[in-house]
Amino acid sequence: MNIRSKAWKLLMVGGLGASLLAGCGGSDEAANSAEKVTVSKEGFPIVETPIKLTMMAPDVGIQNWEDMVVLQEMAKKSNVSFEYKNAPKESFDTKKNLVFASEDYPDVFYAAGLTPSEQLKYGEQGVLIPLEGLIDEYAPNFKALLDEYPDVRKSITAPDGHIYSLPVVEFSQHWYRNPMWYNGEFLEALGIDKLPETTEELYDYLKRVKEEDPNGNGKADEIPISSVTTSAANVRDIRTWLLGAFGIYEEEIYVDDSDVVHFTPVEEGYKQYLEYMNRLWTDGLLDPESFSQTGEQKKAKGQNNQLGLFSDWHAYMTKGGEPSDKDPMFLPVRSEYVDKAAIAKNRGITTGAFAITKTNPYPEASMRWVDYLYSYEGALLFNKGPEGTLWEYENEADRTKKALPVPGGGDSEEYRSTLTPNYGIPAPTVSMDDITKGLKNDFDLWVEKETKTKLLDNGARAPFPALFLTVEEQSEINSLNSDLSTYVKQMEAKFITGAEPISGWGAYVETLNKMGANRVKEINQAAYDRWKAS
């Protein structure tokens, strides 16, 4: 007893002391420290006398940001320079939370991936300042973009009517997830010239891969379809594409054509998907290691030429060798239950890429700075680096470019990552076809064509818009999801492998509803209706 009471006293004293300390730390407001500077509304430089701000951003550890040519050039051009507070990308979130907790805010967040709930929470408390006024005054390029695409404005406007962050806009990136690819050599060996269009035809192809030795090594070592499981989800890389055959756009939440929101794991189509997968599993067509292998092990199988159908960014990344147009993209198949396959498309917008905090003494200049990234020239600079390094104009008028040899040889993407911060992080910018005009090689063009004919022309659309939940909705979803998603994941694996017979479906749905599946659906429906109406 004594020990405890003393410990409590100490605890209280320590606690008080620290919280007092914490209290007198941060809160020096920006307003009193900033001298007035005139921010020009157009053209460069943005300010006459150079100013310096702090920027917090994730970093992939290749080049120090101070040494990046693109950022140096931008600073010279605009007279706005930054002190960079980088944190490694993998642990950026930890550091971001500490920054908010310690009130040690940077002036701007760059590529910070602020979640909708963070934007809302910190926006409502005034840590992130509302941007809509600044956009109207100081962001001509971004404003033009919003006027052209009203959905973007809808998606970045929080339920309280303010805009707290600028997005990544990528209308030229259509894939919802990595596509699947057929092994071209297998198709040829089996004499298949028309890709499967239905789940039955797909089944037949997979069966033939297993039985007819298409890699011709005399061993039955072919694996018709292989997948990997991450801690986040099972077989997600192939699931996205197979769910579509049963009319389902996405694995968790999607909206159908009549504005009704669906929670996938309780859908009838999801059950049909499970039955199909169970059939593949039972007949040995789905790699039995799909639930336990690492991505590297799967790649090794690809390099051994064992895989018939697999998912990756490009086929050659799994199969090894050079980029090749011999491995066709998977054409979404349909089952007997639907007329056409549901195909998910990237919604092309990621919110939370750029935000300005209340301690920023020059919000106008910051907005002008980032607005340049939404212009053609700015997006080009930040994406491809300055002219004369990796590219030069062939015809500046129609924006055609040609690639230059990589200085010092080596991989051009790798070199690019030393020039610009926009490598592997969700940076605020817009992607336009003009940026890459003339820089695309035959392989890029082929991939583009595959994407168009197989996905876009077949009715691909975004499964669910980027939208905001209120703080309360978000926290309810979070607490429901921690059990729900685990249970769904576990049962999916059991249904597919037959550890749980599909006759257990009824009990499974009942359990899901007890865990709050209905609430998840209702909350998302409400949020969607708000988004639609705004």
Partner 1 sequence: MITVTQESKGDKVFLICTYIYLSVALLIVLYPLIYILSASISSPQAVNSGQMWLFPKDVTWAGYELVFNNPKIWNGYLNTIIYTFVGTLLNLAVTLPAAYALSRSDFFGRGWFMAFILLTMFFSGGLVPTYLVVKNLGLIDTMGALILPAAASVWNIVVARTFFQSAIPKELQEAAHIDGCTNLKLFWRIVLPLSAPIIAVMALFYGVGHWNSYFPSLIYLNSEDKYPLQMVLRQILVLQEMSAETTGAAISGDIAQAMNSKAETASLIKYGVIVVSTLPIIAVYPFLQRYFVQGVMVGSVKG
Partner 2 sequence: MKASKSPGAELPLLKKPSRRAQVLGNWELYLFMLPAVLYFLIFHYAPMYGIQIAFKNFVPSRGITGSEWVGFDHFERFFNSYYFWDLIWNTFSISFYELAIGFPLPILLALAFNEVRNGKFKKTVQTVTYAPHFISVIVMAGMIITFLSPSNGMIVMLIEALGFNAPQFLTDPAWFKTMYVLSGVWQSTGWGTIIYLAALSGVDPQQHEAAIVDGASRFKRVLHINLPSILPTITIMLILNMGNILTVGYEKILLLQNSLNLESSDVISTYVYRAGLVDAQYSFSTAVGLFNSIINVILLVTVNWIARRTSENSLW
Distance of closest approach, residue 18 Cβ to partner 2, in angstroms: 4
- Partner interacting with residue 115 (select from partner 2, partner 1, none; CB below 5-8 Å by kind): partner 2
Which of partner 2, partner 1, none interacts with 425 (beta carbon under 5 to 8 A by kind)? partner 1
DSSP 249-275: --SSEEE-TTS-EEEGGGSHHHHHHHH
Distant-in-sequence, close-in-space partners of 496: CB < 8 Å, separation ≥ 6:
234, 235, 274, 277, 278, 281, 286
Q: Which residues of the chain form contacts with partner 1 (CB under 8 A)?
A: 3, 6-7, 10, 18, 21-22, 25, 60-61, 64, 85-91, 94-95, 97-98, 101-102, 104, 168, 170, 173, 175-178, 228, 230, 232-233, 236-237, 294-297, 299-301, 303-304, 311-314, 317, 320, 344, 346-347, 350, 413, 417, 422-426, 431
Closer to partner 1 by CB, 347 or 368: give it: 347
The answer to whether residues 281 and 496 touch, using CB atoms and an 8 Å cutoff, is yes
Residue 425 near residue 58, CB atoms below 8 Å: yes
What separation in angstroms does the CA of 118 have from each of 133, 427, 481? 20, 17, 18
Q: Residue 484: which of 512, 510, 461, 458 has the closest Cα?
A: 512
d(CA 391, CA 403): 4
SS3 302: helix
Binds 292, which of partner 2, partner 1, none (CB < 5 to 8 A, cut-off by type)?
A: partner 2
Does 288 participate in binding partner 2 (rule CB under 8 A)?
Answer: yes
Candidates 140-148, 237-245, 414-422, 485-493; binding stretch for partner 2 (CB under 8 A): 485-493
Binding marks (x or -) toward partner 2, 232..251, rule CB under 8 A?
A: x-x-----------------
CA distance 114 to 91: 14
* Site for partner 2 contains 282 (CB under 8 A): no
CB of 26 to partner 2, least distance (A): 9
Residue found under tokens 């429906």 = 525
Residue 59 CB, shortest distance to partner 2, in Å, is 20
Q: How many Cβ atoms sit within 10 Å of the Cβ of residue 338?
A: 16
Compare residues 207 and 236 and give the one whose CB is closer to partner 1.
Answer: 236
Tell me the window of 122-130, 196-204, 269-277, 418-426 that interacts with partner 2 (CB under 8 A).
122-130
Q: Judged by CB, which is closer to partner 1: 3, or 397?
A: 3
Q: Which does 445 bind (CB under 5 to 8 A by kind): partner 1, partner 2, none?
A: none
| Shortest spacing between CB 312 and partner 1, in angstroms | 7
Q: At what angle do helices 471-497 and 116-124 cross, to 10 degrees?
A: 160
| H or E stretch covering 349 | strand 349-356
By the 10 Å C-beta count (0-12 exposed, 13-18 middle, 19+ buried), 1 is classed as exposed
> CB of residue 152 vs partner 2: minimum separation in angstroms?
24
Residue 68 binding result from partner 1, partner 2, none, given CB thresholds of 5 to 8 Å by partner type: none
Question: CB of 410: closest distance to partner 1 in angstroms?
Answer: 11
Least Cα distance to 184 among 335, 361, 46, 315 occurs for 315
CA distance 403 to 421: 20
> Is residue 515 involved in binding partner 2 (CB under 8 A)?
yes
C-beta separation of 184 from 245 below 8 A: no
Site for partner 2 in 294-353 (CB under 8 A): 294, 296-297
412 belongs to the binding site for partner 2 (CB under 8 A): no
Residue 489 lies near partner 2 (rule: CB under 8 A): yes
Between strands 307-311 and 261-263, the pairing is unpaired
Site string for partner 2, 94-113 (x = CB under 8 A): x--xx-xx-x----------
Dist CA 413 CA 416 (whole Å): 5
State how far the alpha carbon of 415 is from the alpha carbons of 62, 394, 408, 523, in Å. 10, 21, 9, 45
493 binds partner 2 (CB under 8 A): yes
**DSSP tag of 470:** P
Q: Choose the contact partner of 486 out of partner 2, partner 1, none; CB within 5 to 8 A by kind.
A: partner 2
Nearest distance in Å: CB 340, partner 1: 22
Q: Which does 303 bind (CB under 5 to 8 A by kind): partner 2, partner 1, none?
A: partner 1
> Is residue 165 a contact residue for partner 2 (CB under 8 A)?
no
What is the nearest approach in angstroms of partner 1 to the Cβ of residue 337? 25
Pick from partner 2, partner 1, none: which does 493 bind, CB < 5 to 8 A by kind?
A: partner 2
Report the residue number, 364 or 500, with the smaller CB distance to partner 2. Answer: 500
Q: How many CB atoms lie within 10 A of CB 16?
A: 10
Assess 518 for contact with partner 2 (CB under 8 A). no
Return the structure tokens found at 17.
């002391």
Q: Which is nearer to partner 1, 78 or 420 (CB)?
A: 420
88 binds partner 2 (CB under 8 A): no
Q: What is the rounded CA–CA span in Å between residue 187 and residue 117?
A: 47
Neighbours of 487 (CB within 10 A): 16
User: According to CB under 8 A, which one of 115, 418, 458, 534 is a site residue for partner 2?
Assistant: 115
Q: Nearest Cα to 523, choosing from 253, 272, 322, 287?
A: 253
Which of 33, 438, 488, 495 shows the shortest CA–CA distance to 232? 488
Chain residues binding partner 2 by CB under 8 A are 10-11, 14-19, 22, 93-94, 97-98, 100-101, 103, 115, 117, 121-122, 125, 127, 229, 231-232, 234, 288-289, 291-294, 296-297, 474-475, 478-479, 481-483, 485-487, 489-490, 492-494, 497, 499, 511, 515
